[in-house]
Amino acid sequence: MGILAGVIVAGGVVVTQFLSSAIDYYCNVDEVGTRDGCESDRRLRVQGTVEQGSIKQAAGTTTFEMSFNEVTLDVRYDGDPGGVFQECIPVVAHGRVVNDVFISDRIEVKHSNTYVAKNKNRLDEAEEAADACSRVG
């Protein structure tokens, strides 16, 4: 009986740890490090608009700045985000903050079906920011 109880408790701990570490909290750039669930030491999905003139590609890595509500976050993505990724569009980057840089392993571009399906309620605010960005310069 004792062994069975120990196995059940151990299994519960493993499942709880797995589920809590597998959750990507959804945050806007301005919420990273300030809102509960958006602590910079955990895995996040961060929404923002790609800043105009910020995209740089070198040695297979893409770096750019994304912003939301006048707060900017540096992003590094190993690879080419491809598709319609460009300046002045809303994106969602998945990853972690390391040394004040968001290291992303996945980029969702607003125009993709995945982005629209998952983020429909946030698109209006993001569109306003993107429209303002495209009018600059």
Q: How confident is the model at residue 25 (pLDDT cuts 50, 70, 90)?
A: confident
pLDDT value of residue 18: 47
Locate 131 and state its tokens: 């429209």
CA 74, distance to chain mean position in Å, is 11
The answer to whether residue 30 is domain-embedded is: yes
Tell me phi and psi for residue 59, to 5 degrees: 50, 40
Average pLDDT, integer, range 26-53: 92
Cβ-based burial of 92 (10 A; exposed 0-12, middle 13-18, buried ≥19): buried
pLDDT at 20 over 50: no
The answer to whether residue 91 is domain-embedded is: yes
Range of the domain at 50: 24-135
Higher pLDDT, 13 or 10: 10
pLDDT at 137 over 60: no
The answer to whether residue 6 is domain-embedded is: no
Higher pLDDT, 82 or 137: 82
Report the CATH number that the domain containing residue 63 is assigned in CATH: 2.40.50.140
The CA distance from 20 to 46, in Å, is 18
The answer to whether residue 84 is domain-embedded is: yes
The answer to whether residue 54 is domain-embedded is: yes
pLDDT at 50 over 60: yes
pLDDT at 71 over 80: yes
Structural domain count, the chain: 1
The answer to whether residue 75 is domain-embedded is: yes
Average pLDDT, integer, range 12-31: 66
The answer to whether residue 16 is domain-embedded is: no
Q: What is the pLDDT of residues 99-111, one digit of tens each?
A: 999 999 999 886 6
The answer to whether residue 11 is domain-embedded is: no
